Structure 1
Amino acid sequence: MTDHDWKLAGTYFEACNCTIACPCVFLSAPTEGECTAVVAWHIEQGHFGEVTLDGFNVAFAVHSPGHMAEVKWNAAVYLDARADDTQKDALLNIFSGQAGGHPSVLASHVGNILGVAQVPIDYQAKGRKRSLRVGKVAETSIEGIEGQGGADVTIQNHPLCIAPGYPATAARSSHLRFDDHDMHWDISDRNGFYSPFSYAA
C-alpha cells in the first residue's frame, strides 16, 4: 500500500451567506456579490495508506471575493484535534489536494491559505439537522428544507459540487458565526447543503 492509496467516506455539510438556494453551485454569481461559507466533513470510514482516519472531522472557512467560478478563494483549514501527527499529515495531504481525487479539484479554486489549525471539532447530524462547532472560531447549524409531500429538496449533478455522485439536500441555516483571520461573519436564515460524500485517490 502506498501513500497515494487512500479513501474517505462520510457526510458533509456547508452553510453560506447566499439566499436559498445558493446559485454558486450552478456557476452563477453569489447573491451577495461575494461568498462566505463554512464547509465540514465527518469521516465515517477512511484511510491514507496504512493510516486510519475513521471518525475525524475537517472544516474549511471559505471566502470568495466574487463569482466562485471566476476568482480564487481564501480558505482557513481546521483539522480534528484528536488526530495524531501522522493522521494530521494524512488529512492535510488529502484536503489540500496534494493526494489527488476530488479534493484536488476543490483545492484548485483556492488562491490563499489563511492558516491551518488543529482544534476540537464537534459535528452533529440528526435527521434533517446538522450542526458544527470549530474550537472557538466557528459555530453553525442548518436544517433540511421540507419539500412536496414532506420529501427532501435535492439538487443533483450540479457543476460546483463538494460531493460528486450524491444529491445535495437543500437546507436553511439557523445561524452561521465565524471569527478568525480578520473575518467576522454572523448571519442566519441563509443557504445550506448536506449529503454523503466519498473521495478516493
Structure 2
Amino acid sequence: MSSWQITGQYMETCNCAFLCPCITSNLTARPTEGDCKAAVTMHIDKGAKDGIALDGLSFVLILHSPGPMGEGNMTVGLIVDNTASDQQLEAISAIASGSAGGPMAALAPLVSTNAGVERRPIRFEVDGLNYAMSAGELVDQACEGLPSVTDPEQAIGIDNTAHPVNSRLSLAKAKRSRFHAFGIDWEDATGTRNGHFAPFAWAG
C-alpha cells in the first residue's frame, strides 16, 4: 500500500521557444536557448503522506539544466507554500526530491545540485485554459493553453511523454515567466515561450 498519494493541478513555463524540444525528443534535444530554465508548480487538491494531510498546499520546483535534460547535471531548488507546517514541508520535500519514491524518483539521478528549500506564499489560479501562479517575490508565471479546433474549451495535447508529472500534457504559451531563485534567473513576457499544464495523480 502506498505511503503517500497526491492529486491536483500542475503548470510550468520555461525559457524554450514554443514548442519545447525536450518533450518531443524524450529529453535528448538541446534546449532552444542552449540551457533549460523552468518553474514547475504543483497545486495539491487532495493528498497525504504517512497520515499528514497535504490538501490545498502548493510547491514549485525551479530547475536549470546546462544542456539536454537527459544528460543530467541539473540544479533544482524547491519552494513550498509558507502555510505548510514543518511536517508538511518535510513530506513535500521527500515527494519533490524523489526520496519518497514516485515519479520524481526517476528524475533524481539527473540532479547533481539540490539548491535548497524556500518558503513563500504561493498563489495558484486556473480560469479555463489560463493558468497563473506566484511565489512571493521569487516566481510569477502565467500560461494560456492552445485551444483545440474540435473543442475550444480544451487545449491541444501531447500524449505518451516522458514528463514526470503526467504522460499527457496540454500545450500552452507562456504569457509571462519570471523567476529569480536559487541563482536561476529568467524573465520573459513575449508570449512566444513554452508552457504546459495538466492534472496529476502521484503515489509512492
Q: Distance in 1 between matches of 2:17 and 2:141?
A: 16
Question: Which AA in structure 2 matches 1:145?
Answer: L
Tell me the alpha carbon deviations over residues 109-148 of structure 1, each in whole angstroms, 9 at most, x when there is no partner: 2110112111111111110011110111110000001233
Task: Give the match for residue 7 of structure 2.
Answer: 9
Q: Distance in 1 between matches of 2:188 and 2:91?
A: 33
2:164 aligned to 142, 148, 162, which one? 162
Cα distance change of structure 1 residues 126 and 162 upon mapping to structure 2, 3 Å threshold: farther
SS in 2 for 1:130: strand
SS in 2 for 1:158: coil
Contact preservation (8 Å) 1:103, 1:199: no
How many angstroms does 1:49 deviate by?
1.2
Task: Give the match for residue 181 of structure 2.
Answer: 180
Q: Distance in 1 between matches of 2:11 and 2:176?
A: 14
Contact preservation (8 Å) 2:37, 2:184: no
Structure 2 residue 145 is matched with structure 1 residue 144: yes
The CA RMSD over aligned residues, in Å, is 1.5
Q: Distance in 2 between matches of 1:183 and 1:163?
A: 21
Farther-moved stretch of structure 1 (61-70 vs 21-30)? 21-30
Q: Distance in 2 between matches of 1:96 and 1:71?
A: 15
Contact preservation (8 Å) 1:75, 1:114: yes
Aligned-residue sequence identity (percent) comes to 33
How many angstroms does 1:157 deviate by?
0.6
TM-score (norm 1): 0.93
1:60-99 map, 5 Å = 60-99=61-100
Aligned residue pair count = 197
SS in 2 for 1:107: helix
Q: Distance in 2 between matches of 1:72 and 1:121?
A: 28
Structure 2 residue 9 is matched with structure 1 residue 23: no
Tell me the alpha carbon deviations over residues 54-83 of structure 1, each in whole angstroms, 9 at most, x when there is no partner: 010000111111111113211111011111
Mind listing any 5+ residue stretches in structure 2 that lack a counterpart? none
Question: Which AA in structure 1 matches 2:203?
Answer: A
TM-score (norm 2): 0.91
Question: Which AA in structure 2 matches 1:157?
Answer: N
Question: Which AA in structure 1 matches 2:160?
Answer: N
SS in 1 for 2:165: coil
Structure 2 residue 194 is matched with structure 1 residue 191: yes
Task: Give the match for residue 129 of structure 2.
Answer: 128
Contact preservation (8 Å) 1:95, 1:107: no
Q: Distance in 2 between matches of 1:111 and 1:71?
A: 7
Q: Distance in 1 between matches of 2:148 and 2:34?
A: 28
Contact preservation (8 Å) 1:141, 1:176: yes
SS in 2 for 1:108: helix
SS in 1 for 2:69: coil
Mind listing any 5+ residue stretches in structure 1 that lack a counterpart? none
Q: Distance in 2 between matches of 1:143 and 1:106?
A: 26
